[in-house]
């Protein structure tokens, strides 16, 4: 979508905080029409009010992206209000940790429901209407951005469910890029792979569905350790969500597929790829910072 953003329409999920909110703010500055979706109503209301005050035309809808019908309703509302969107940012996501065998069925269903099926629903709902718009106008351009993670390229221990979900998003996005190239030159795709950036994802449990069977249930030791370490790592992040939002818009403008918040973290990705190609056992994930590995082992073995 290299022809500029003014007057174009963007759909952003997870728009109440983090990357979604910062992309909404940037979209408003660039003169875009915005469709903001979030599962947390109060955060969504604040985001809608802010970008409206900045002069943007806005449609805000509370959406649980894990629910197909709700994403379908988001698509129908977008089409009715603004027509086919030029930019779709499938960004809503949740974080979860703990030793992989300690994750419950509900943990798996929640994380995969939001992180994987949320992206899948966005792709399934919005791509056909974007293709229709492209077929009707040779000048029309569109772009889909999916939020994965560096955890989609490496496998940090004690984060298994999250890792699995983000690997799925990366695979889905790479396939989307290739599939779009088969049928059109007017719509492109990107995948965002952030590292530790303060976004609020460490607080995502606040929006977890409260199943009756889980009321009063305590997280396992490994889950509490993972949560504490994630909070510490995210809070110490030196790259802001606003800086990542700018990287997203720059990538859309230039047609760049992979978007990295911390390119220096790619050394670990290279090590993993070499492990695979050379059939080596997985490398020590804490080779660069052994004190973190000592700390994690001590906490889990105590």
Catalytic residues: 162
C-alpha distances in Å from residue 13, one per residue of 34, 110, 188, 271: 11, 16, 18, 33
What per-residue string of b and e applies to 235-258 under the rule 16 or more CB within 10 Å gives b? eebeeebeebbebbbebbeeeeeb
Those residues with Cβ within 8 angstroms of residue 237's Cβ, 6 or more apart along the chain or in another chain: 195, 196, 197, 198
Alpha-carbon span 70 to 39, nearest angstrom: 10
Q: Compute the distance between CA of residue 159 and CA of residue 147 in angstroms, rounded to an integer.
A: 17
Distance CA 251, CA 256 (A): 5
Q: What are phi and psi of 25, to 5 degrees?
A: -60, -45
């Amino acid at each position: 979508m290299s022809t500029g953003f003014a007057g174009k329409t963007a759909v952003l999920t997870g728009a109440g905080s983090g990357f979604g909110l910062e992309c909404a703010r940037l979209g408003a500055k660039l003169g875009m029409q915005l469709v903001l979706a979030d599962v947390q109503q109060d955060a969504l209301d604040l985001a809608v009010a802010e970008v409206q005050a900045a002069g943007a035309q806005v449609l805000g809808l509370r959406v649980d992206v894990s629910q197909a019908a709700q994403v379908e309703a988001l698509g129908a509302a977008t089409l009715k209000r603004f027509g086919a969107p030029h930019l779709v940012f499938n960004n809503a996501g949740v974080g979860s940790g703990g030793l992989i065998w300690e994750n419950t069925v509900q943990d798996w269903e929640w994380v995969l429901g939001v992180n994987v099926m949320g992206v899948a629903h966005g792709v399934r709902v919005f791509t056909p209407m974007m293709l229709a718009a492209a077929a009707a106008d040779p000048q029309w351009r569109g772009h889909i951005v999916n939020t994965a993670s560096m955890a989609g390229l490496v496998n940090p221990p004690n984060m298994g469910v999250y890792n699995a979900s983000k690997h799925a998003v990366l695979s889905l996005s790479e396939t989307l890029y290739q599939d779009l190239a088969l049928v059109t030159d007017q719509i492109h795709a990107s995948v965002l792979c952030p590292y530790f950036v303060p976004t609020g994802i460490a607080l995502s449990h606040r929006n977890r569905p409260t199943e009756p069977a889980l009321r009063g249930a305590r997280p396992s030791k490994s889950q509490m350790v993972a949560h504490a370490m994630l909070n510490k790592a995210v809070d110490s992040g030196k790259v802001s969500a606003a800086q990542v939002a700018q990287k997203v818009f720059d990538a859309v403008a230039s047609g760049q597929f992979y978007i990295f918040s911390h390119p220096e973290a790619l050394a670990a990705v290279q090590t993993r790829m070499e492990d695979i190609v050379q059939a080596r056992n997985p490398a020590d994930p804490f080779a660069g910072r052994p004190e973190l590995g000592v700390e994690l082992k001590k906490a889990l073995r105590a």
